[in-house]
Amino acid sequence: MKKKIFTGSGVALVTPFHPDLSVNYEELERILEFQIENGTDAIITCGTTGEAATLTGEEHLNVIDFTVKKVRGRVPVIAGTGSNDTAYAVELSREAEARGVDGLLLVTPYYNKTSQRGLIESFQHIASSVKTPCLIYNVPSRTGVNILPETYLALSKHPNIVGAKEANHDISALAKTVSLCGDDLAIYSGEDVQTLPILALGGVGVISVFANILPRQMHDLCVAAMEERISEARAMTVQYVDLMDALFMDVNPIPVKAAMNKIGFSCGSCRMPLTDLSPEDDKKLTEILEKHLKM
């Protein structure tokens, strides 16, 4: 059995920006403290929600370095270091490792994509280039490539590939992956609304957008599910499903940054090509937030 980087709720953290769209490190520190104080089990920085795609290489590493230093080992820090260029993913992973992260999140190659064989060779090459444990990130809606259960089985045999963030919406394929890989691959939900069914199938946690807003609630949902208090976890899922869905009413992280701004954080806007919410969606998001939070 491989050691898990974390269990429970890991937050896919936003990257706050100033009005000029430079990184707001003061607000980032405030957000990190908010997360840790409210039970988040891991910090995932520089992923999709953290707008890694529009961070410069220097910004990417600076955000990772700042996060590791401010968290100070209180919870694991996992850095997104994937790329459609395997050589660059290796470089970025080694740089993140040197800054003391606890894990690396490696997205499947996008745009140029690859075959299942290419996925195996690429991920194995990256994982062999570092000592830090690696999580594979499967999100075909963004990358155009999906990891098959048999490919997960091959990847799970690498000693440094310890888990996967699964966001392909295919519960049947996930069940097959769990059956094939067993304890050699820890599965994390990559979809907030699928956290309960994925944990019920043997997953060990979630990498959550929703946790940016309500970290304690997502932590508690995960604990209830993992302790097989299914009725309680189901009730929490049903209670918050409208907010979980609302955070994807537009391209992530547009809605979650808007929500963070509404509840008292200064996250700013997203960098282009992402834009602000439409007035209609903004109103709808406000109504849902007011239903669940004191605003």
Domain that residue 69 falls in: 8-229
Residue 84 lies in a domain: yes
Q: Which residues contact 79 (CB under 8 A, 6 or more apart)?
A: 44, 45, 46, 64, 67, 96, 99, 101, 103, 104, 105
pTM assigned to the model: 0.97
Residue in 135, 147, 255 with CA at minimum distance from that of residue 192 = 255
Residue 187 lies in a domain: yes
> What residues are annotated to the active site?
137, 165
Task: Return the pLDDT at 294.
Answer: 74
- How many whole angstroms separate alpha carbon 12 and alpha carbon 58? 20
Q: Could you tell me if 284 and 246 are in contact, meaning their C-beta atoms sit under 8 angstroms apart?
A: yes
Q: What is the CATH number of the domain that holds 18?
A: 3.20.20.70
Q: How many domains are contained in the chain?
A: 1
pLDDT per residue as tens, the chain (295 positions): 799 999 999 999 999 999 999 999 999 999 999 999 999 999 999 999 999 999 999 999 999 999 999 999 999 999 999 999 999 999 999 999 999 999 999 999 999 999 999 999 999 999 999 999 999 999 999 999 999 999 999 999 999 999 999 999 999 999 999 999 999 999 999 999 999 999 999 999 999 999 999 999 999 999 999 999 999 999 999 999 999 999 999 999 999 999 999 999 999 999 999 999 999 999 999 999 999 997 6
Residue 146 lies in a domain: yes
Residue 49 lies in a domain: yes
Residue 249 lies in a domain: no
For residue 76, cis peptide bond before it (omega within 30 degrees of 0): no
Q: Which residues contact 43 (CB under 8 A, 6 or more apart)?
A: 10, 11, 13, 32, 35, 67, 71, 75, 76, 77, 78
Residue 294 lies in a domain: no
Task: Return the pLDDT at 295.
Answer: 67
3 state DSSP class of 7: coil
Residue 193 lies in a domain: yes
| Calculated CA dihedral for residues 110, 274, 12, 193, nearest 10 degrees | -90
Residue 134 forms beta bridges with which residues?
104, 161
Residue 141 lies in a domain: yes
- How many whole angstroms separate alpha carbon 130 and alpha carbon 65? 17
Rounded to a whole number, what is the largest CA-CA distance in the chain?
50
